[in-house]
Structure 1
Amino acid sequence: MADTLISSTAVTKRYGSFTAVDTVTMDVGPGEIVGLLGANGAGKTTLIRLLLGLAVPTDGTVTAFGRTPDRTTRGRLGYVPQGLGLWQTLTVAENIAFVSAAFGAPPPPLEPALAAVEHRLVGEIGLGLQRQLAFTIALGHHPELLVLDEPTSGVDPLSRARLWDAVHQQAEAGTGVLVTTHYMQEAQQCDRLILMSHGRAVAAGTETEIIGTTIACEVDTLHWADAFAALDNANLPVTLNGTRVRLADTPPGTVRTALVQAGITADVHEVPATLEEKMTVIDRQPTPH
């Protein structure tokens, strides 16, 4: 697309015999929130580094704003890495001043919570405030693209909700957003999803499109712990939702047979699968060679 902000075409990254990213094709356009989902180790962060020009592809191509990623293109985006990229031994104000000078932009205004600690060392403030600071710094030069690598990891639900409100405000203003997460429930915050597993992009689209016709079985029994153990021992893709035992993409007859063999009485019925269950199904599939 002519208005694509950042993209990859069959990009691959190998470290010796290990393939961290395997022929991934994706893109992000203005004003859309694209979620890069997958378990830890799925290849999300490596793909981000390739897109930003912080790592060189082994094969395939990456473009940012229509060119190979370089110092100029990085000046047009805001990036919050997993480690936040903050200097722990500098104050909040010093962190802001340093990055603002690097981008040639005036220091951004601070929210009251950050203003109250602007003269404290970053290492002395809580993780929630550190994430808020990293987000503020990333937006300080008004980027066209915002790249967030696990931005809500380790923060409380309220801080997570506030961050997503800020992300949506940026997208509504026309900023493209690429966000990685291993929280499947955050998928509903995104316009489009890319699911990664073992370095590959294994599904793409909206949550509904990715789940497709996949169904799950739900097991109703007072002996839910025994049922879970029995189904797990039978090597079935069993998960827990509270005390509800669920199995994705598994015929009810298979579930009933395993429970009967374990001497467990239960009611088994089909329900729509969740995105997390769909990911469980994908992760259990053999890795292509």
Structure 2
Amino acid sequence: MTEPAVVDVRGVWRSFGSFTAVREMSLEVHPGEIVGLIGANGAGKTTLIRMILGLELVDRGAIDVFGAPPSRGTRRRLGYMPQGLGLYQELSVRQNVEFVAEAFGIAAPPLPDALEEVATRQVGGIGLGLQRQLAFYCALSHRPELVILDEPTSGVDPLARTKLWDTIHDQADTGRAVLVTTHYLQEAQQCTRLVIMSRGRLVAHGTLDDIIGGQRAITVRTAEWARAFDALVAAQLPVTLAGRVVRVAGTDATVVRAALDSAGVEAAVTDVPATLEETMVLIDRDAKIES
């Protein structure tokens, strides 16, 4: 990256009592890229975002946003969409937009067609998809240089998710830096780079190809797929289902074959590249072992 990082997190720690939510975490976000912050619930993603926003204190390490520690000044230059959306349910759609515009000292922008149709309705009375569209619109209304989105598409239908991701790409294309969390791994593949957290720590980072690397999986195809699945689970292997195809990540084919033979299951066993989901399972497993 040739341009300075918009977000620069260096060796950050954050604890709540005896619980350490984030430990020795580092990441950078540069203009024009979409960085996906990925991890299971409780991995520390939201805590890290709140520290970047200046809403949580840093115990150790340092965070710079636009070259300075998080502050009211840096927050004016970014747009944030929290998991809870941050909307006022008893205000109308238009009133929510006007409130945000007043807070940032700008004129309220015109609503897009889908929101204009419900402009006078209370936010609590419109669907979740429209609420998320409104929250996203509010986050972008003051033309921020950095956009931070915490699970922006959670709970909405696939078409709405696709439209929101089109907008995310539009923001990056204009040079804005985007930091986004998502638990939809198909969405994660749309990011420029991925940063994977587990138990508060950075466990992997890079492009999708960097993350998956040489990870492999075994596919098991058989008419007795349910018995095959049970046999492999009983053997304590990392098993998933893709339709009726059983998949086992990070395991040698001879081990899979032995477990199937012990259960008397005939199957075709094939070595294939691992998916991102399977790689995440392996990364999380290794992180638990190390901790």
Amino acid at match of 1:215: R
CA distance in 2, matches of 1:20, 1:188: 26
1:273 and 2:282 correspond = no
CA distance in structure 2 between the partners assigned to 1:187 and 1:123 by the alignment:
29
Task: Report if aligned partners of 1:91, 1:121 keep a CA contact under 8 Å in 2.
Answer: yes
Supply the RMSD in Å over aligned alpha carbons: 1.0
CA distance, structure 1, for counterparts of residue 34 and residue 104 of structure 2: 24
**Any conservation in 2 of the 1:108–1:136 contact (CA below 8 Å)?**
no
SS of 1:84's equivalent in the other structure is coil
Shift of 1:288: 3.6
Match of 1:75 in 2: 76
| Offset of residue 2 of structure 1 | 5.6
Write the letter of the residue equivalent to 1:212: G
CA distance in structure 1 between the aligned counterparts of 2:97 and 2:284, rounded to whole angstroms: 41
TM-superposition CA deviations, 1:43-75 (whole Å, max 9, x none)? 111111111111011111111111110100000
- Structure 2 residue identity aligned to 1:225: A
Render the CA deviation track for 1:6-37: whole Å, top value 9, x for unaligned: 12101111111211111111010111100011
What is the match of residue 222 of structure 1? 223
State the percentage of identical aligned residues. 57
Where does residue 237 of structure 1 map in the other structure? 238
Matched, 1:26 2:27: yes
Q: Counterparts of 1:187-198 in structure 2 under 5 Å?
A: 187-198=188-199
| Counterpart secondary structure, 2:67 | coil
Question: What number of residue pairs does the alignment pair up?
Answer: 289
Indicate yes or no: 2:35 matched with 1:39. Answer: no
Please say if residues 198 and 287 of structure 1, whose CA atoms lie closer than 8 Å, have aligned partners that are also in contact.
no
Aligned partners of 1:147 and 1:178 also within 8 Å: yes
**Which amino acid is the alignment partner of residue 83 of structure 2?**
Q
Aligned residue identity for 2:141: G
TM-score (norm 2): 0.97
After the TM superposition, which segments of 4 or more aligned residues of structure 1 sit over 6 Å from their partners?
Answer: none
User: Helix, strand or coil: the match of 1:246?
Assistant: strand
Residue 164 of structure 2 aligns to a residue in which SS? helix
Query: What is the TM-score normalised by the length of structure 1?
Result: 0.98
Offset at residue 287 of structure 1 (A): 4.7
For the residues of structure 2 that align with 1:250 and 1:108, how far apart are their CA atoms? 54
Residue 96 of structure 1 is matched in structure 2 by 97
